């Protein structure tokens, strides 16, 4: 048993600093992951806010009694046809 004491002493001398280095590295990795997660959460929150604003606008458009949705859709279709005709002529030239 006495011959194992030097082995354990050497293992402790090298093992404790290595454990400390590994623990610090894991802590740093977790901090980077936390920052990245926080940034993504902020981006998702901003994107979510933009989508909510767009939905509010659409709800207001649809529920506004003075707004004729069918007429507006047809106007957009007519404008698309005009744009397609203009684009076709410019490609043919």
Element (H, E) at 55: helix 5-63
Residue 69 domain-assigned (yes or no): yes
Asked, for residue 85, whether it belongs to a domain, the answer is: yes
In a domain, 57, yes or no: yes
pLDDT at 41 (0 to 100): 92
Q: What domain range is 40 assigned to?
A: 11-92
pLDDT of 3 reads 86
Q: Does 84 reside within a domain?
A: yes
Domain count, the chain: 1
Mean predicted confidence (pLDDT) in 33-51: 92
Place of tokens 């509010």: 56
Q: For residue 58, is pLDDT > 80? A: yes
Question: According to the model, what pLDDT value does residue 35 have?
Answer: 93
87 within a domain of the structure (yes/no)? yes
Is the pLDDT reported for residue 46 higher than 80? yes
Checking if the pLDDT of 80 tops 80, the result is no
């Amino acid at each position: 048993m006495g011959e194992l004491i030097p082995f354990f002493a050497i293992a402790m001398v090298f093992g404790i600093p290595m454990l400390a280095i590994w623990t610090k590295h894991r802590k740093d990795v977790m901090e980077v992951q936390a920052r990245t997660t926080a940034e993504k959460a902020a981006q998702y929150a901003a994107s979510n806010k933009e989508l909510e604003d767009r939905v509010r606008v659409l709800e207001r458009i649809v529920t506004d009694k003075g707004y004729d949705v069918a007429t507006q859709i047809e106007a957009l279709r007519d404008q698309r046809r005009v744009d397609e005709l203009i684009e076709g002529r410019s490609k043919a030239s």
